[in-house]
Amino acid sequence: MSDDDLFPDDGGEGELAVVVEKPRAQQAIDGLTQEGVYDADRSVRAYGEAGVSIPVTAVPETVEFHEVVRQVGDARLRTLADHLRERGWSPEEIDRAPSSWAVIGSVVLVEIDDAPRPVEVGEALLDLHGEADTVLQRHGIAGEHREPDVSVLAGEGDTETIHTEHGTRYAMDLAEVMFSPGNKDERAGMAEAVTENETVLDMFAGIGYFTLPMARAGADVTAVERNPTAFQYLLENARLNDVTDRVQPYRADCREVVEGVNADRVVMGYYDAYEYLDSALEALEPGGTVHLHEATPTDLVFERPIDRLETAANERGRSVEVLDTRRVKSYSEGVDHVVVDARVD
């Protein structure tokens, strides 16, 4: 949809939209959704050289924007299948198209598998998500630091972006660091779990996945990350979210940092975190809470991570009270990403 289908709001025909700079699109959409005025039945459209118009049901009160315009023309093509059908795809081809993808800031992440004409899939995803300017194809994770293997499928090819989630802003390069949309509720939950001035050790901080929402909620976080690229984004994101006074960052192996740390809470957001339980318990104060993440075979959920935690605690003369267990998402076929929350005395 072109700018020709957008007109200044003069009270005439067309549906309301607000204009923001494209880099702020996802942040604005999050804010409009929270306010309850984002209209998901219509498309985000290009506006000028650097802006987008975001459909709304009413003029927002809490989200900044440049101007109000009217959108006219066809209603939104709601699905990827709609866009592929317009490109002449057959029903059989559409059945092989991706069924899921993630929009992270201005980037769409997608796994193509055996879909035909991948470039057309990328172009269709850009049409579907007007706030995005790049589509990346995911190939997997590789290397000591679990770095993403991606390639540009469509768009500008800019892999750096800022993603906003529950008010927390994450700057990242999706060609260099991982970001899992499936962990969104877990990140939000950590902000709700902490109390103001609580001391937290985040043993595998990454770009600040859990550190940032906890610090924004008032916790004092010792954040440890050994991947140099992720660590630089951790520093940038602490500044971006105005929590540098609440985040103590260390570029190190977390086992080298725990001495002298007295934490009310330890976050172990790594699939093989159980290997570091001795260090976590060394840092955790009696009566403190540990959040142990693990990739667990489905038939061992939640038995294996609880057993590992209890064994490590017993070896140190400590006891465990399981507070909560949950499946976060599927990790691979027959394997789940799970979390055990426990009090350790």
Q: Confirm or deny that 45 is annotated as ligand binding.
A: no
Q: Confirm or deny that 246 is annotated as ligand binding.
A: no
- C-alpha 252/C-alpha 271 separation (Å) is 18
- C-alpha 236/C-alpha 161 separation (Å) is 13
- C-alpha 250/C-alpha 252 separation (Å) is 6
Residues whose CB is less than 8 angstroms from the CB of residue 258 and which lie 6 or more positions away in sequence, other chains included: 201, 279, 280, 282, 283
Q: Confirm or deny that 187 is annotated as ligand binding.
A: yes
Residues whose CB is less than 8 angstroms from the CB of residue 232 and which lie 6 or more positions away in sequence, other chains included: none
Q: Is 245 exposed, middle or buried (0-12, 13-18, 19+ CB in 10 A)?
A: exposed
Distances (CA, A) of 324 to 204, 270, 338: 21, 18, 11
Q: Taking a C-beta distance cutoff of 8 angstroms, is the pair 154, 118 a contact?
A: no
Q: Which two tokens stand for residue 313?
A: 């605690």
* Residues placed in the known binding site for S-adenosyl-L-methionine: 180, 187, 225
* Residues placed in the known binding site: 180, 187, 225
